Structure 1
Amino acid sequence: MAKKYKRIFGIVLDSVGTGEAADAAKYGDVGSDTLGHVGEAYKGDLKIPNLQKLGLANLRDAPILGVDKVDQPLGYYGKMKEISAGKDSMDGHWE
């Protein structure tokens, strides 16, 4: 039986990518990785404890410097991949 929730909160981190998409070369986006690059820029001193507890680092195989994976995230998490050919946030939001 599915678990019932009184409330569900969705967090959309607009333009915060977690690695390049499969079609990155088509758009000149090879190497895109906002989360990874922010962790590198902070030299491992990135502090986002609430997102870490929710499981942000669990989204990817590669580490985010300063943000560890958690064994039991407090939330459910996932990645979404845009299916339209558009390159703007509005296209993704409409999907």
Structure 2
Amino acid sequence: MGRRNPRTGTEPVTARSPLRLRLLLSCVFLPLFVAGTVLFGVWAARSDSGDSPGPGPLVLLAVVCGVLALTAALDLAVVLRRLRQERGAAD
């Protein structure tokens, strides 16, 4: 297996990113965060200003879930690209 980047620090020679674990976590949490975004968004749209919780905190939760879903999607894309590169280097 070829080296992707030259070593720049004191990390072990065999240090590797846990790509399979990151793949699993991204696949599990991406749909959960998307569902949270939709759930909190719909709940915020249906709530009135006198309700508890009000629309403000629900919108905030929807935005947080959306950002986390975007992060999980980007990580999933990076992990899949790195796994494809490693398979190509092994051939």
The answer to which structure, 1 or 2, has the higher relative contact order (CA under 8 A, 6+ apart) is 2
The two structures share one fold, judged by TM-score above 0.5: no
Shorter chain as normaliser: what TM range?
under 0.3
TM-score normalized with structure 2 length: 0.25
Higher percent of residues as helix: 2
**Structure ID, larger Rg:** 2
TM-score normalized with structure 1 length: 0.25
